[in-house]
Structure 1
Amino acid sequence: MSGSLWLKNGTMQDTLPVIPRQRAGAGRPADPRTPPPAPHADPPPHALAPPQADPRPVPYERAGAAPPVGVLAGDPLDELADRLDVLVAVAVHPDEIAAILESDGMTDDHIRLTYGRADSFALAEDLYARVERRHPAPEAPPAGPWHTALAGCLLRGLVFALPGLAYVLGAPLLAAGPGRYGLPPGTVPLFAGAVTGWVWNQALSHRAYTWLGLGDRRAASRALLTGAPAGALAGAAVAFAAAGPGEGPAALFGTGQALYLAAATVLLVLGRERALLAALLPLAGAVPAFRYDLPEALRVGLLLHSLGATAVFAVLVLRPGFGRRPRARGGPPFATSLPYGLFGLGSGLLVLYAGADAVIALTLSMGPAEWLLHRFRGASLTRLRLLTTAQEFRRAVTGMLARCLAAYLAVLSALTVTAGLLWPGAAAVSAGRIGSLLLVGAVLWLGLLLQAFGAVSSAAVVCLLAAGAQTLAPSAGPVAAGAAAAVLCVLTCVLLVRPTTHRF
């Protein structure tokens, strides 16, 4: 497109003063035979009136044609400014305009002949002065994974908590046989299978989310297609291995629990929360079981209906990946998913030690917890764009961290009181119990925050140490949770007040 900026003519609107044309014979010596003009002769009438410009636009682009007398010739610089208006208006320096002129093939000779300027830099300065600056407004940041609606997070919290009703329906089925370690009958195989499922599915979720982050949904589906059944088999095997005499029904229940955890992981990772909610709705039939003894057939039917619906939905979601060979592409290393599984182990043990009503409160609080994590991440990115000093950023991030953590603990307190009043056989609600549960909640939320910023190894180590201390000395549970919360709080403050942490 060389020369396209200056070979194309435009429509002229501005006018210039008329330059009188030289009469014929001007500049030549006068003929002595020509008589001189009479002295004091009046000039002709038309010489006294200024020439009148024709208001109609007259084309002057005709090759070799000069504007007739009385027609105003357009300034070629105005034409060029109109043609380059969009490019010149957004320029921040005349040199940008000079680069545009030179890239389009304008030489200094052409600029001197056509525009009367010494070179492209002089012409660019004139264009920069003529055109008003009109820089476009910055675009709004795209909605990314850290911008999410509260309704979606609350929905996830609900589907996290609804499976707790399955234990209400299955409690009479597990009552046969003696309990062990001072726990109700069937508790050991259920806990063993649940913890196995949490560890496996946390690691599997990380691997699938990594594939999704790479933009390969098919590879994520393949990972879930191979990993979810393996996790279900592992959970069922551990539940049967941990079952004692008379705990066969609990082992069967643990098998269904492992299958549900695998199918729910598939649906949650692939964003099918609504399908999972629809599958769990039959468990609402457990609400009358809080006060009335339901028939055993009804209990089993509700449990199998929800379990079967969850498994069918998971198969339908993964069906496009059946029979397709994975691409020959190296995926994320398996070792990178191990810390996420260990974090699931430590946090899961801390939640189990808190009690049944506390488990319901904590699982329901995961929805608001997830939303607050997104809020903190989004607000920190906004502060990173707006603030100019590291000190201002540290103060802003510390304040946001304190507000988000306080909001989560307030929600958890309300849910703890509600669950303690509604859940049958729950421990009495007291200030000490609420305080110890808030410490566990702080550990979970801070650990999830560190996990979101890639510091999952530190969170996993702290949670495992706290869970191990509570296993060895159950009475020291609040002390272990408090120490873990304090350590995680320090780690969070040290890590997240650095601006470089938020640039990944």
Structure 2
Amino acid sequence: MSGSLWLKPPREGGTLPAIPRPRREETPRTREAGRAPDPGLAPDPLDELAERLDGFVAAAVHPDEVAALLESDGMTDDHIRLTYGRADSFALAEDLYARVERRHPAPQAPPAGPRLGGLADCLLRGLVFALPGLAYVLAAPLLAGEHGRFGLPGGTVPLLAGAVTGWVWNQALSHRAYTWLGLGDRPAAARALLIGAPPGALAGTGVALAVAAPGETPAAVFAAGQALYLAAATALLVLGRERALLGALVPLAGAVPAFRWDLPDPLRAGLLLASLAATTALAALALRPGLRRAAAGRGGPPRAASLPYGLFGLGSGLLVLHAGVGSTPVGGAGAVVALTLSMGPAEWLLHRFRGESLTRLRILTTAREFRRAATGTLVLCLGSYLTVLTALALAVTLLWPGAPRPALPHLLALLLVGTALWLGLLLQAFGAVLGAATVCLLAAAAQTALPAAGPAATGGAAAVLAVLTCVLLVRPTAHR
């Protein structure tokens, strides 16, 4: 899985519009009444403010939207009391909301073209997330160690340590690059990836080598290639080169016969190296615009802003790894495969929730109606994702060689992990990444300290994230 697995570009239009302050001699109301303003009376400042904000207030579905605009323009409570005679921004917003008639714009027509285009792109991303798992199938005979640690097969510890390091680094790097893309500066995004990807690959390699025990050198070498792949795949995914990455992963299809027949070791190594070399070369070509001197960018996002996204990558990655430690396909490697494949539909459902919420924001006239509609959409999207995840888990179990029927407790545990991941992704997409990262990290820490508490910790995380989602994302102001 790539470091950019669960990160999408920041939503545009997240900033509030500035309050225009035109100078005028007469108001539209006096003009419509056919009379000139009375020079002997001072104009009501609240009328002036209502006319300046007429378009924004008319489209608002709650006074809090107006209050947020006033505060973003720098209006303090002291200024509001002296100028408008109201106690604070909320009282002023309520008066403005009452004075202006609601005029919600009609919903935009859906774009021309096939409606499933976005779904196809998301399914493609889910496929390129899952295909690297075939590399472990090819490399399994090459990595087999004599002695394992912590009840895991030999070589597992350096592989997991290198993977988690790559997820954390590349998740934070992806956020920084996506921020540049959101600013419309693609060369600066390429430069950020060009500068940040090599240290991430070195960090993953260094951690894997540091934790490798005697006899786990082959696993550490594979972890170094894994770190290089994660860095290159992150660059391709952030820059929208999913199809190129899919082509680079074609050699890994040679792992399919390995499920039944024993392949020669040189062939296994050759397929792995061919895919890694192709991915690295394609990433180098995609990052060439970052070499230009003008690609440095100006006034870029602060690096500290990307830290919560790296922490979310750490927490969610650990939850997936814990889901992969089990004795049955649904509770072991099959869970990781199902979760990885489900990330494509998960992204599409995230976009669906966002689009449906914006549509409701345009056509509904009260905050109560919007809350009900947003809650219904949230339940529908989460239910759809869990249905897809269940179907994928059952399909993996049926296709897994010699796999028994999935046990209900393992399936329920997998669905709890999926719920926590999807809700965490949703909160991240709306900027509430710190809360999602904190909840996932606490759940992962609880599972690490007490493995028997895994389902309880994951269920608690899912419940807390559900509450946070309902509190934050059913408000109209969260979608402006």
Give distance in 1, aligned partners of 2:397 and 2:230.
26
Match of 1:202 among 150, 160, 171: 171
Q: Is the 1:177–1:245 Cα contact (8 Å) retained in structure 2?
A: no
Match of 1:489? 466
1:212 equivalent to 2:189? Answer no
Given the superposition, is the C-alpha separation of residues 335 and 137 from structure 1 closer, same or farther in structure 2, using an over 3 Å criterion? Answer: closer
Match of 1:292? 261
Q: Is the 2:191–2:296 Cα contact (8 Å) retained in structure 1?
A: no
Give, in angstroms, the shift of residue 269 of structure 1. 0.2
Given the superposition, is the C-alpha separation of residues 137 and 380 from structure 1 closer, same or farther in structure 2, using an over 3 Å criterion? Answer: closer
Q: Write out per-residue CA displacement over residues 291-348 of structure 1, whole angstroms, 9 at most, x where no aligned residue.
A: 1111101110110011000000000111232252544612101111000000000000
Q: Secondary structure at the match of 2:277?
A: helix
Give, in angstroms, the shift of residue 242 of structure 1. 1.0
AA in 2 matched with 1:184: P
1:433 equivalent to 2:410? Answer yes
Given the superposition, is the C-alpha separation of residues 193 and 376 from structure 1 closer, same or farther in structure 2, using an over 3 Å criterion? Answer: same
Match of 2:229 among 260, 278, 288: 260
Match of 2:275? 306
Match of 2:399 among 396, 401, 422: 422
Give distance in 2, aligned partners of 1:478 and 1:349.
14
Q: Write out per-residue CA displacement over residues 23-62 of structure 1, whole angstroms, 9 at most, x where no aligned residue.
A: xxxxxxxxxxxxxxxxxxxxxxxxxxxxxxxxxxxxxxxx
Match of 1:320? 289
Greater percentage in helix: 2
Match of 2:454? 477
Match of 1:277 among 246, 261, 266: 246
Give distance in 1, aligned partners of 2:402 and 2:320.
18
Give, in angstroms, the shift of residue 140 of structure 1. 3.9
1:466 equivalent to 2:435? Answer no
Q: Write out per-residue CA displacement over residues 182-235 of structure 1, whole angstroms, 9 at most, x where no aligned residue.
A: 101110000000000000000000000000000111110000000011101110
1:172 equivalent to 2:141? Answer yes
Q: Superposed, which structure 2 residues align to 1:39-438 within 5 Å?
A: 140=109, 149-324=118-293, 326-327=295-296, 329-355=298-324, 356-424=333-401, 428-438=405-415
Q: Secondary structure at the match of 1:171?
A: helix
1:444 equivalent to 2:444? Answer no
Given the superposition, is the C-alpha separation of residues 425 and 313 from structure 1 closer, same or farther in structure 2, using an over 3 Å criterion? Answer: farther
Match of 1:34? none
Match of 2:101? none
Give, in angstroms, the shift of residue 282 of structure 1. 1.0
Q: Is the 1:170–1:299 Cα contact (8 Å) retained in structure 2?
A: yes
Q: Write out per-residue CA displacement over residues 426-477 of structure 1, whole angstroms, 9 at most, x where no aligned residue.
A: 6751111100000000000000000000000000000000000000111111
Give, in angstroms, the shift of residue 418 of structure 1. 1.4
Give, in angstroms, the shift of residue 375 of structure 1. 0.2
Give distance in 1, aligned partners of 2:127 and 2:145.
31
Give, in angstroms, the shift of residue 353 of structure 1. 1.0
Judge which range, 325-334 or 307-316, deviates more.
Answer: 325-334
AA in 1 matched with 2:407: S
AA in 2 matched with 1:233: L
Given the superposition, is the C-alpha separation of residues 147 and 385 from structure 1 closer, same or farther in structure 2, using an over 3 Å criterion? Answer: farther
Q: Write out per-residue CA displacement over residues 408-440 of structure 1, whole angstroms, 9 at most, x where no aligned residue.
A: 000000111111232347675111110000000
Given the superposition, is the C-alpha separation of residues 425 and 198 from structure 1 closer, same or farther in structure 2, using an over 3 Å criterion? Answer: farther
Q: Secondary structure at the match of 1:149?
A: helix
Q: Write out per-residue CA displacement over residues 141-178 of structure 1, whole angstroms, 9 at most, x where no aligned residue.
A: 779xx996100000000000000000000111111331
TM-score with structure 1 length normalisation?
0.71
Give distance in 1, aligned partners of 2:182 and 2:146.
48
Q: Secondary structure at the match of 2:262?
A: coil
Q: Is the 1:195–1:348 Cα contact (8 Å) retained in structure 2?
A: yes
For structure 1, which runs of at least 5 residues remain unmatched after alignment?
A: 1-91, 99-135
Give distance in 2, aligned partners of 1:182 and 1:428.
24
Give distance in 2, aligned partners of 1:366 and 1:288.
26
Give distance in 2, aligned partners of 1:427 and 1:226.
47
Match of 1:51? none
Residue identity over aligned pairs, in percent, reads 74
Match of 1:455? 432
Q: Is the 2:157–2:211 Cα contact (8 Å) retained in structure 1?
A: yes
Give distance in 2, aligned partners of 1:371 and 1:353.
25
Q: Is the 1:185–1:247 Cα contact (8 Å) retained in structure 2?
A: yes
Give distance in 2, aligned partners of 1:240 and 1:172.
20
Give distance in 1, aligned partners of 2:171 and 2:350.
18
Q: Is the 1:148–1:374 Cα contact (8 Å) retained in structure 2?
A: no
Give distance in 2, aligned partners of 1:190 and 1:428.
29
AA in 1 matched with 2:353: F
Q: Is the 1:357–1:426 Cα contact (8 Å) retained in structure 2?
A: no
TM-score with structure 2 length normalisation?
0.74
Give distance in 2, aligned partners of 1:192 and 1:404.
33
Given the superposition, is the C-alpha separation of residues 207 and 147 from structure 1 closer, same or farther in structure 2, using an over 3 Å criterion? Answer: farther
Q: Which of structures 1 and 2 has the bigger CA Rg?
A: 1
